[in-house]
Structure 1
């Protein structure tokens, strides 16, 4: 079972990342899925999505949970029955789960040049410190997207916009962390964020 990485963020927060190498049937076989989860996975058109969905259930098991412990609210945000906070992500061959006593968000993205084409849709303030000619421009954009996606998952409030309401403070890859802000409806919220790169992917997560 390829648990790829486990990160102890702090005493209340853990990140676990899975490298999806198993076949669909090998992932499905040991799991005890709720009827609605089974219906959902069988309805997915892409085997990549099916394997991502199932690998998340294996990550739950790594935390000591089962599919029965997980439920979603009307905004599509995942919750655990014991009251701990959870966020989930999967992208191609990796999936990730963060569990904490506090609100959290996580995102994994493949690093791809085409993110530069849509940068204007999610970057505003950050253009002040980004260098479009730098070798790490794509990687930095991917970090910013991942942090903003994580913030969006954490806040789970329809109407929030990456470009207008989320702000990522300048960072270096050596630091592997930065501060992010949500500025929404006259209120400001500050978050600690961290990020890491592996095998052409970027993982970012946020904790209040």
Structure 2
């Protein structure tokens, strides 16, 4: 493992995306424990993409326009559905002081689905991981697996920090009705924008 990998990985995991928005929304709506479960779900959701990159399946996905488009449209639909749930003020992403607490398994499942249905992650890892492993290394697959596991640990740590930050501010923010309305609208718009951005990605 190199410092360049750690530095690059940290930059990637700290960049706001669907996982960060989901973790923040759940943490504000239901508190730290739920936020950490959401973070774990988002982290587990990238595992299939990493496995696909290591095994070479991501290259097949990138080569197949139909497979890529099907996965992309499923991801777009899921993000827009989340945006609608937030906008209505219902579901696990409800940003309210008295939000309905969903089962932890539901939060975990939605977090996994959020990243699992994002085809650009497979293509990203296909281009990202091999940069830090010599092409002629006899144990290249094992090295890539090790880097992938480190990336997942960093991802969960970053998302957990977002969860702690949001949960710490929860009571202060949600005590203001105007702030709750702005947050609900902001998260809904964020999920819709992420869905539209995913839809604009060309194969």
Highest RCO, 1 vs 2 (Cα 8 Å, sep ≥ 6): 2
Higher strand share goes to which structure? 1
Higher helix share goes to which structure? 2
TM-score, with length taken from structure 2: 0.26
